Amino acid sequence: MFGALLATEATTLDALLAVACDFSPRVERCDSAAADGPCEVLVDLSGLTRLFGDAQTIASELRRTAADRGLRVRVALAGTSTAARLLVHQEPGLTVIEPGAEAATLAPLAIDALTAVATPGLPAPDILTFRRWGLRTLGDLANLPGDEVAARLGQAGVAWQRVARGEDPHPLVPALPEERFEQALDLEWPIDGLEPLSFVLGRLMEPLGAHLARRNRGAAALHVRLHLVTRAVHERTLQLPTPIRDARTLRTLALLDLEANPPTAAIDRVVVAADPTPARVLQFSLLTRALPSPEQLSTLMARLTALMGEGRCGSPVEVDSWQPGAFAMTPFAPAEPDAASKDAAYVPDVRRPGLQTRLGDSVSPWPVVALRRFRPPVPVRVGVDEGKPSRITTDRRGLSGGRVEMCAGPWRTSGAWWESHGWDRDEWDVMLTDRTTYRLFHERDTGQWFLEGIVD
């Protein structure tokens, strides 16, 4: 059994929801057809007869509770939520109909009653067309052949015909209260240092992870707020690469971040909060090697970031720039291989011994050339003969120098002269007598020479 509550005077939706929640936890907010329409809620009253009595008693108790809080409401009880909503807009006071009598009770109502019931996913009812057909009541619409209505109005017309019969187009969707995934602890004595803070964070992360697990959620972002004795608040936010709810991993990530960004004074209150998101679903394969778990990967990246610094760890990606070697760093998030690459067969490549190629891929007969860049470029001393490099001398261990046997260039490139990181240089490809090939460039503004990389 479902009940509909409609406020007859100006009131807030929260006040009406509070009345309904006193009787059942399954309460749904109803969207009014008009922007300034009255407040309306649906409540699932199934199983309440043992507690309050029959349907008439429940309806009376609903209205009395609303009156005690200064609300004047209409109440309608029916076997379906649609019938209850239609009746509450048309009948004043209390209306109770027995389950199974919805269609007969709704039949005398005017066809305009459909406009008061806003149904998500359905367009507004075509009342003008219904009137042109000679329909005056909901019973007239309900008695039409369904296939004829579908042929003329489509599925939307059939859906409104079911509404006229009192049938529910969708189940009741209860409004869930806003849930906060947060834990806090007030300390009896201020603490200073990461070691005592790790015990406090461990005590807070355990119930936070359990709360996320009960709701099948993971933390998309972790917020750590440290209230200091100086009345200041040291707040850190960690954007997690994947939803995580493991308490030990969350504590480790928070500690590594606080190690790189420590508070400036002792701490007397600790608050941790998580932004929830649906937990991930993992599907393992028997044919491919499993990737490291997101918890292990997140901990490793946090340790590397604390060691190397912000923005120095991740995956390099190309940027839209003509600057040689320009790239940007993005968070490291390896993607699972797609189904096509998993199912494809690999065979030995006769043109490149020791390598494999996928069936159907074309193999180029030309050798593959790669430039292995030096970051940062290696400064060298270069002898120039007739405007071309003739000899290279370097002090870097592992790199050879000597006379230049062949060279190609120069290729002049410049850009971003209006910024501090602009470049203006000439590039050369040189091969030494020991058959080593380098990419060499000369900075025109400073006159210095550098090795940018070695050609493999």
Residue ranges of domains in the chain: 2-164, 182-278, 371-455
Residue 115 clears pLDDT 80, i.e. is over it: yes
Note the pLDDT tens digit of each residue in 146-194: 898 889 888 888 888 888 888 888 888 777 667 789 999 999 899 988 8
Q: What is the 3-state secondary structure (H, E, C) of 399-417?
A: CCCEEEEEEEEEEEEEECC
> Residue 31: its pLDDT value, please?
65
> Residue 215: its pLDDT value, please?
85
Distance CA 358, CA 347 (A): 6
Helix axes 247-260, 294-308, angle to 10 degrees: 10
**Is-contact 270 184, C-beta < 8 A?**
yes
Distance CA 65, CA 70 (A): 9
- Name the token pair of 385: 């003969």
Distance CA 440, CA 423 (A): 15
> Residue 10: its pLDDT value, please?
63
Note the pLDDT tens digit of each residue in 343-355: 444 444 444 444 4
Where would I find the H helices in 319-366?
339-343
Could you list the beta-strand ranges (E) of 69-114. Answer: 73-78, 94-96
Residue 145 clears pLDDT 80, i.e. is over it: yes
| 3-state secondary structure at position 188 | strand
More confident residue, 7 or 254: 254
Measuring CA to CA, which residue among 30, 33, 24 is closest to residue 1? 24
More confident residue, 421 or 208: 208
Q: Work out the percent of the chain whose per-residue pLDDT is above 90.
A: 11
**Is-contact 231 205, C-beta < 8 A?**
no
Question: Running DSSP on this structure, what letter comes out for residue 266?
Answer: -
Mean pLDDT score, 69-88 = 86
Block residue for tokens 């970031």: 305
Q: List 346's β-bridge partners, or say none.
A: 358
> Residue 339: its pLDDT value, please?
44
- Phi, psi angles (nearest 5°) of residue 112: -65, -10
What is the CATH class of 2-164?
A: alpha beta
Question: Running DSSP on this structure, what letter comes out for residue 25?
Answer: S
User: Cβ-count burial of 87 within 10 angstroms (0-12 exposed, 13-18 middle, 19+ buried)?
Assistant: buried
Distance CA 24, CA 3 (A): 10
Residue 356 clears pLDDT 60, i.e. is over it: no
- Name the token pair of 203: 């005590």
Mean pLDDT score, 428-439 = 88
Note the pLDDT tens digit of each residue in 20-62: 888 888 888 886 544 456 788 888 888 777 777 888 888 888 8
| 3-state secondary structure at position 383 | strand
182-278: CATH topology is Dna Ligase; domain 1 (3.30.1490)
